[in-house]
Structure 1
Amino acid sequence: MRLPVLIFDIETLTDLKSGAHLYGLDLPEADLDAALTKLRRQEAGTDFQRLALHEIVCISGLWIDEKGMKLFSFSREDNSEAEILKKFVSIFEKRHPTLVSWNGSQFDLPVILFRAMYHGLSAPSLFDQGEIDTQKRYNNYQNRYHHRHIDLMDVMAMFHGRHFQKLDDTAHLLGFPGKRGDGGYHVPEYVQNEHWLELTSYCEGDVLNTWLIYLRWLLLKGQLLLNDHQHMIQSTIQYLNTQPQHADFLSVWQQTSQRTEFTQSDFPSLTH
């Protein structure tokens, strides 16, 4: 495993102001969301809004290096969207981590690109493709087949859209918590009600599931030996024991680990 590693995920809402500007809508704010949803259904047959209209309300990450691991979140509790983006892209100015995501190539990174441009930000360390650093011609964060950014959903589907899987389903299949029995998307109500801990815990939960799947991917590819894989799993469990906001994640992981033969040893005390 090439250190440092950064597993990341974002949470978004529809940017009503930009949507009104784009479509020339003069409506009360309370009516804009429904109007934009209707327009999106008409033009694309889906409620999923175009990427440029996804306003970022949280970016969470798990940083792993020689010193250990650390979870973090930048959210709208204390930051504007521009401030969230500035903090996130500044990471790449200092270090050049292996970036790991689930569907990050098709969603998270393009949204970050659009929203950074919207706010007039510069992020060459993340988006340079060799124009500044010639080495990035051969290994940058945007190229689908490079290894600086690993979109697990894409690589595990062998780059074939028909084989794409949901993060929740894959995590459950492999003996990890997934969404912990809650398939609902609660981000809008978390933001509306200022439930910031719930928002960051939700986003960090996706990061943790992605990390666990990444470890299994490295084991499959021979980039982690079995003993090293088991060590990283135990290190993750020990770290989560210090994170009270993820007590539920750890508890559900203990239960789901017993559903596959390979993961039963993740929590040795449960096998006796």
Structure 2
Amino acid sequence: MKPNPTETAPSPGPASPIDPAPPRQRRGPARDRHGAPGTPDTLLCLDIETVADPGLPAIDSDTFPKPCRHQIVAISYVEARIAVDPATGYERYMVQQCRSGGNEDWDERRLLAAFWRFFAAGRYRIVSWNGRGFDLPVLQARALVHGIPVQAWYRRGDRWNGYESRYAPDWHTDLMDVLSGFGASPRMGLDECAVALGLPGKAGEHGAHVAGQITRGDLAGVRAYCECDTVNTMAVYVRHALLCGKTDVAGHDASMRSLVDYLASEGRTRPHLRTFLDRWMSSSRPAPMFVGKVA
């Protein structure tokens, strides 16, 4: 359902004349419902890959499975520390790791349990592409199937700001949703947006290929593909942060430099990240990495 255009979406920061939240409720860090500080301090650019759950009765093959009917085979992410300039409030994103959760021999339940423990132990701003429509509903539905508690998702934040709020980008920024004006304009695919920015995008790969790769036993290839999607998402988020004023030109370029340096270092032993960086660096698109005069 499309949001009512007459409603004001709550957002962090000082109250304005049209902001429905009273000033006293907008001050200080957001807290979870037990009173502990809960403001996200780390980006988690997240993506999952799935196949149809083979243990459930078959349905029409032309119908895209509902969240509970997916079996998760890969959970990947880029993790980046959010550094805030105390003088300006602008953010920078310092990449710490890009990886897939668990080991290749883990079953879905173990993979999910480990992810939700990892999530609960940190203070993450989730960044996704269609995460509200797919990734998070699947992660939650499959936790429901396996009986895995995910209370950190539901109990953190406050009345206006938290993971469940569509209009709380400091908690979860679904880039596909945000860049469409929450459905006001046509939604882009990650590949479309990434390629427009000079990123490699999908580079010929697609989620529709995942089932075949799993059948062939190529889980390593699925994990590599999923990780590259998270790198695309991370780079698009940095450009979005510049667009909406969460960072400035210097912060944008420092964040991109952090991502590039990480890919160059990790690419020595992880070929898919090296290939991603090579394709990105060879892009002919305008300002594919840096927007300042000096990179």
Aligned pair count reads 239
Partner of 1:228: 251
Q: Distance in 1 between matches of 2:48 and 2:42?
A: 20
Q: Which of 163, 173, 179 does residue 196 from structure 2 map onto?
A: 173
Partner of 1:27: none
Larger helix percent: 1
Q: Deviations over 1:136-171 (max 9, x none)?
A: 322111211112111000011110164210000000
- Residues 26-65 of structure 1: pairs in structure 2 closer than 5 A: 35-36=58-59, 39=60, 41=62, 47-65=63-81
- CA shift in 2, pair 1:184/1:119, >3 Å: closer
How far off is 1:127 after superposition? 2.6
Q: Deviations over 1:37-59 (max 9, x none)?
A: xx254xxxxx4222211110000
- CA shift in 2, pair 1:197/1:234, >3 Å: same
Q: What stretches of structure 1 of length at least 5 have no aligned partner?
A: 21-34, 42-46
Q: Distance in 1 between matches of 2:205 and 2:261?
A: 25
How far off is 1:119 after superposition? 0.1
Partner of 1:239: 262
How far off is 1:73 after superposition? 0.5
TM-score by length of 1: 0.81
How far off is 1:68 after superposition? 4.1
- Residues 133-172 of structure 1: pairs in structure 2 closer than 5 A: 135-147=157-169, 148-160=171-183, 162-172=185-195
In the TM superposition, structure 1's runs of 4+ consecutive aligned residues that sit over 6 Å from their partners are: none
Residues 1:263 and 2:263 aligned together? no
Q: Deviations over 1:197-238 (max 9, x none)?
A: 211110001100000000000000111110111111111111
Q: What stretches of structure 2 of length at least 5 have no aligned partner?
A: 1-39, 84-93
Q: Distance in 1 between matches of 2:166 and 2:43?
A: 18
On the 8 A contact 1:75/1:200 being kept in 2, the answer is no
1:263 is aligned with what amino acid? P
Residues 1:194 and 2:217 aligned together? yes
2:137 is aligned with what amino acid? P
Residues 1:82 and 2:98 aligned together? no
Q: Distance in 2 between matches of 1:138 and 1:264?
A: 34
On the 8 A contact 2:50/2:71 being kept in 1, the answer is yes
TM-score by length of 2: 0.75
Q: Which of 92, 111, 117 does residue 144 from structure 2 map onto?
A: 117
How far off is 1:187 after superposition? 1.0
Residues 1:208 and 2:231 aligned together? yes
- CA shift in 2, pair 1:105/1:265, >3 Å: closer
How far off is 1:264 after superposition? 6.5
- Percent of matched pairs sharing the same residue: 32
On the 8 A contact 1:57/1:76 being kept in 2, the answer is no
How far off is 1:69 after superposition? 1.5
Residues 1:73 and 2:89 aligned together? no
On the 8 A contact 1:58/1:76 being kept in 2, the answer is no
RMSD: 2.3
On the 8 A contact 2:79/2:96 being kept in 1, the answer is yes
Q: Deviations over 1:72-129 (max 9, x none)?
A: 202672211111111111123211211100000010111111100000010100133x
On the 8 A contact 1:101/1:152 being kept in 2, the answer is yes
Q: Which of 118, 131, 140 does residue 91 from structure 1 map onto?
A: 118
- CA shift in 2, pair 1:173/1:234, >3 Å: same
On the 8 A contact 2:95/2:259 being kept in 1, the answer is no
